[in-house]
């Protein structure tokens, strides 16, 4: 016996055992169907009985059936929504719009008015951090169902294939760039997520590329931390080949940063009319495009900040 034959002996044994097992199971299934059919119909012959008698000689059909089931299951896993985290999405905050009108104390003066917005966080950060200590914020994008906690670790790879509960998952999690620091809000705050076809994670970013979204008056994105509500306004959306330029987090000087902002704004498919300067702080949402050959990118500028 040749060496190659000896090396393949275990493999041949396993294949023979597997073939025997499949044949036995398939024969049992066929006999079970026949027995049930004969029991309830009291027939001993017919087209149905002949069909199952013939099937007993073709155990390979069981393998085809298994392949069909696995294939259909894989397709459903891709397209149907699937809950992968145990947190409950919430409206990230509530607010009160308080308008006050005051008269000149001496009379005859002009009436002054003032509007005050009070934000209250609805996010239970204690619970989220107990589930995952990497939790740093909560993200809500108006006009979409993007409503997720944001995690951050020491790299930008881990949460590509791990969900919020650290389970291995193709859906990943919504995560912040590891280079961003949140003791002071960064100039370019970057958040990543997979572009899921089942409209979860960053799949709904497609909404920001529609004429309907552009014509609406609600272009806000909310980034909530345990201590602050940061309100951003979208100023640029575009699709681009994979690159690292828009993911820049460190800038040599104000001039370099202004050029960076100008480039991002010029790329936009819509003119959102936002004004940016060297003091502007932006939020970048990055995901893959539909065929995974490029990137869908949305940028928003910080317009309000509230302590909660």
- Answer yes or no: do 191 and 49 share one domain: no
* Across 191-197, average pLDDT: 95
- Please check whether residue 98 lies inside any domain of the structure: no
**Half-sphere exposure (CA, 13 Å, Cβ side) for 307?**
0
- Answer yes or no: do 155 and 268 share one domain: yes
- Please check whether residue 102 lies inside any domain of the structure: no
DSSP 137-152: EEEEETTS--EEEEE-
- Please check whether residue 90 lies inside any domain of the structure: no
Domain interval for residue 150: 125-307
Q: Which of 64, 79, 94 is the last residue of a domain?
A: 79
DSSP 3-state assignment of 240? strand
pLDDT in tens, 45-87: 777 677 767 766 666 666 666 767 767 766 665 555 444 444 4
pLDDT at 100 over 50: no
- Please check whether residue 205 lies inside any domain of the structure: yes
* 82, 190, 233, 259, 290 from 163: Cα distances, Å: 12, 18, 28, 36, 21
- Answer yes or no: do 262 and 191 share one domain: yes
Number of independent structural domains in the chain? 2
Stated pTM of the model: 0.68
Q: Is 288 a catalytic residue?
A: yes
- Answer yes or no: do 293 and 192 share one domain: yes
User: d(Cα 112, Cα 101) in Å, to the nearest integer?
Assistant: 6
**Half-sphere exposure (CA, 13 Å, Cβ side) for 53?**
8
> For position 50, what pLDDT does the model report?
75
Catalytic, out of 288, 289, 303, 306? 288
Torsion of CA 267, 269, 273, 276, to 10 degrees: -20
- Answer yes or no: do 252 and 181 share one domain: yes
């Amino acid at each position: 016996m040749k060496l190659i034959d000896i090396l393949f002996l275990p493999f041949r044994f396993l294949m023979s055992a597997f073939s025997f097992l499949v044949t036995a199971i398939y024969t049992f299934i066929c006999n079970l169907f026949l027995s049930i059919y004969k029991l309830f119909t009291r027939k001993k012959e017919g087209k149905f009985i002949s069909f199952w008698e013939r099937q007993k000689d073709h155990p390979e059909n069981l393998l085809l059936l298994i392949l069909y089931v696995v294939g259909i299951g894989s397709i459903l896993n891709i397209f149907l929504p699937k809950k992968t985290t145990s947190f409950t999405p919430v409206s990230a905050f509530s607010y009160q719009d308080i308008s006050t009108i005051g008269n000149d104390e001496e009379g005859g003066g002009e009436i002054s008015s003032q509007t005050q917005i009070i934000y209250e966080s609805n996010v239970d950060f204690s619970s989220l951090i107990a589930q995952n200590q990497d939790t740093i914020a909560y993200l809500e994008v108006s006009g979409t169902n993007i409503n997720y906690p944001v995690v951050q670790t020491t790299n930008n790879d881990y949460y590509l294939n791990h969900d919020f509960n650290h389970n291995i998952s193709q859906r990943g999690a919504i995560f912040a760039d590891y280079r961003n620091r949140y003791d002071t809000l960064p100039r370019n705050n970057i958040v990543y997520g997979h572009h899921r076809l089942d409209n979860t994670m960053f799949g709904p970013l497609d909404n920001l590329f529609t004429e309907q979204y552009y014509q609406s008056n609600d272009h806000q994105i909310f980034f909530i931390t345990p201590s602050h509500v940061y309100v951003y306004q979208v100023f640029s959306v575009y699709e681009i080949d994979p690159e690292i330029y828009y993911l820049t987090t460190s800038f040599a000087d104000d001039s370099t940063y202004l050029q960076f902002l100008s480039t991002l704004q010029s790329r936009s498919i819509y003119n959102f009319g936002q004004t940016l300067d060297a003091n502007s702080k932006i939020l970048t949402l990055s995901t893959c495009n539909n065929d995974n050959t490029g990137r869908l990118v949305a940028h928003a500028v910080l317009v309000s900040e509230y302590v909660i």
